[in-house]
Amino acid sequence: MAVVRTKGLNMEDSDLTGTAIGCAMRVHTALGCGFQEIIYQNALEIEMQKTTLKFSREYEIPITYDGKKVGSRRVDFLLEDRIPIELKAIVALEDVHIAQAKNYLEAFNLRVGLLINFGAKSLEVKRLINSRAPQK
């Protein structure tokens, strides 16, 4: 798969997200749509293990307000300790899902993230950029 560099991404982040998207494409091609999110999460983990990607699954990140922990959120995957991957298995992504993924980036001061929807007939992928976060 050829990786197209997305505006605002450095080459390394573009390559990493491109590899993860390729894994998601292979999962969606094999399984199609219609399963619960956990099925796609399990399959994507298997597919990403075949690569050199370093990732954590169900990574819990604390949410702070005014310097105090007010809760925590779990991202489906955290790629290379800096790229959250949020999965969905719904008919179509809505603004609320994009906002959720953007909130992860802003709350954790991360530069780039992926929102992947396996529930649509064609795989939906959004690369999200937090322009306020430092580029690594």
pLDDT at 14: 87
Helix, strand, or coil here: 113? strand
pLDDT at 8: 64
pLDDT at 25: 98
User: Which range of residues forms the domain containing residue 60?
Assistant: 11-129
pLDDT at 81: 93
pLDDT < 70: residue spans in the chain: 1-8, 136
Whether 5 is covered by a domain: the verdict is: no
Number of domains in the chain: 1
DSSP characters for 18-77?
A: HHHHHHHHHHHHHH-S-S-HHHHHHHHHHHHHTSS--EEEEEEEEEEETTEEEEEEEEEE
**What predicted TM-score, i.e. pTM, was given to this entire model?**
0.88
In tens, the pLDDT along 21-57 reads 999 999 999 999 999 999 999 999 999 999 999 999 9
Which CATH number does the domain housing residue 109 bear? 3.90.320.10
